[in-house]
Amino acid sequence: MNSITQFQSSQYSKRVVIYARVSTEKQTLENQLSELREVASRNNWQIVDEYLEKVSGAKSRSERKEFDRLMKDSIRGRFDLIMAWDVSRLGRSLKNLVEFIEDIHEKNIDLYLHVNGIDTSTSSGRAMFAMIGVFSQFEREIIKERINSGLARAKAEGKKLGRPTNFNSGMAQSVRLLREQGMPIKQIAKNLEIGVGTVYKALDKAA
């Protein structure tokens, strides 16, 4: 790094990036961008990149190209903080958000959420996300308890559950029960050690 670059970098307190997303092509990113750029300027943060996309938050990471690029650049250590409009821009669920936070914090990257008033580089922001982590764990335990209760009830009613060697009514019942408890398709496949296609087959038969 030459002396000019060093001088320019020293003018800013943090290297930050903006992640902005809307769900459809008809929506605009400008409102998010103007607010976040203003916050960066006010805090003397240097914006080193912007990750902008028009895609549903329900899409997977592979389908959210800019989000995927953001995560890859986080590994490269290109920035100190990620800015986003609100929590809904980042994850599809509380679980996704907590996993995202844990991932970037392992890399010493903080998160600023404008609407939610959260900056994890501050003590109050870290405390807020500590609480989110507690509630996320509580949510997982509740889902697990419901699944176990449902499986026990189905077994008491004489319904065959478990993982048979071939697709049958017992497999279909297990898949439907887990799905009713809110478990994602891929997680059902992993838990029952079956293919994603088999999960969809069971759900199609139930429709």
Strand stretches in 40-102, DSSP E: 45-54, 81-84
State the sign of the Cα–Cα–Cα–Cα dihedral 61, 65, 66, 70: positive
The tokens describing 67, both together, are 């989000």
Catalytic residue among 10, 13, 23, 174: 23
For the question of residue 169 being annotated catalytic, the response is no
Q: Say which DSSP state 24 is in.
A: S
CA dihedral 164, 165, 166, 170 (to 10 degrees): 0
Tell me how far apart the alpha carbons of residues 60 and 186 are, in angstroms, rounded to a whole number.
Answer: 11
Report yes or no: 109 and 120 within 8 Å, Cβ to Cβ.
no
Could you tell me if residue 77 is left (phi over 0), alpha (psi between -120 and 50 degrees) or otherwise beta?
A: left
Report yes or no: 192 and 181 within 8 Å, Cβ to Cβ.
no
Catalytic residues: 23
